[in-house]
């Protein structure tokens, strides 16, 4: 009987959490500023350099899909210009997101990624500080998905500030 009650309690808690996730809430336009490190898991060279990001996110549509455009630049004079989609799950004041962004990579003195066309996948967590400002962190990976023989990939971690344009 005790095992049955624990299982029922776990199922009901899970259903409650799922029903309280706000998947369809529209999000407003926002600007993201980020600072971080690239090459965080490289074996031979642990850190490739510092990186900064400026991103513009458009208002969400269809279940919190949010188009975005952005640019990233590094202390190694590399740059990445991209556009893509975010998917946000809202646990207000906490927000979890994933994104996918194809873009163009300029190597500069940075890591040789093998091709100008690179794909960025990202996981992010944000916490609302005010109605308009959130503080967050992201982890991302850039790769050319095997379209060239050279495809080492590049992993990044960033601290980010999001300002919603309400």
pLDDT of residue 23: 47
The overall average pLDDT reported for the chain is 86
Burial 70-106 (b: 16+ CB within 10 A, else e): bebbbebebbbebebbbebebeeeebebebebebebe
Q: How many Å apart are CA 149 and CA 125, to the nearest integer?
A: 33
Which overall architecture, per CATH, does domain 26-164 show? Beta Barrel (2.40)
pLDDT of residue 44: 63
Residues 120-149 pLDDT 10s = 999 999 999 999 999 999 999 999 999 999
Residues 13-61 pLDDT 10s = 555 554 444 444 557 899 999 999 988 875 666 667 899 999 999 998 8
CA max distance for the chain:
66
Domain extents for the chain? 26-164
């Amino acid at each position: 009987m005790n095992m049955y009650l624990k299982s029922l309690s776990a199922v009901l808690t899970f259903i409650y959490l799922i029903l309280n996730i706000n998947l369809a809430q529209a999000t407003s336009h926002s600007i993201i500023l980020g600072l971080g490190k690239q090459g965080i898991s490289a074996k031979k060279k642990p850190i490739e350099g510092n990186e900064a990001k400026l991103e513009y996110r458009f208002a969400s549509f269809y279940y919190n899909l949010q188009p975005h455009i952005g640019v990233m630049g590094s202390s190694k004079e590399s740059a990445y210009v991209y556009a893509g989609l975010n998917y946000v799950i809202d646990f207000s004041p906490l927000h979890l997101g994933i994104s996918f962004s194809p873009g163009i990579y300029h190597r500069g003195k940075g890591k040789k990624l093998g091709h100008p066309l690179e794909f960025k996948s990202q996981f992010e967590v944000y916490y609302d500080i005010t109605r308009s400002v959130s503080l967050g962190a992201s982890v991302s990976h850039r790769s050319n998905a095997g379209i060239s023989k050279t495809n080492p990939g590049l992993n990044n971690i960033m601290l980010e500030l999001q300002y919603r344009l309400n």
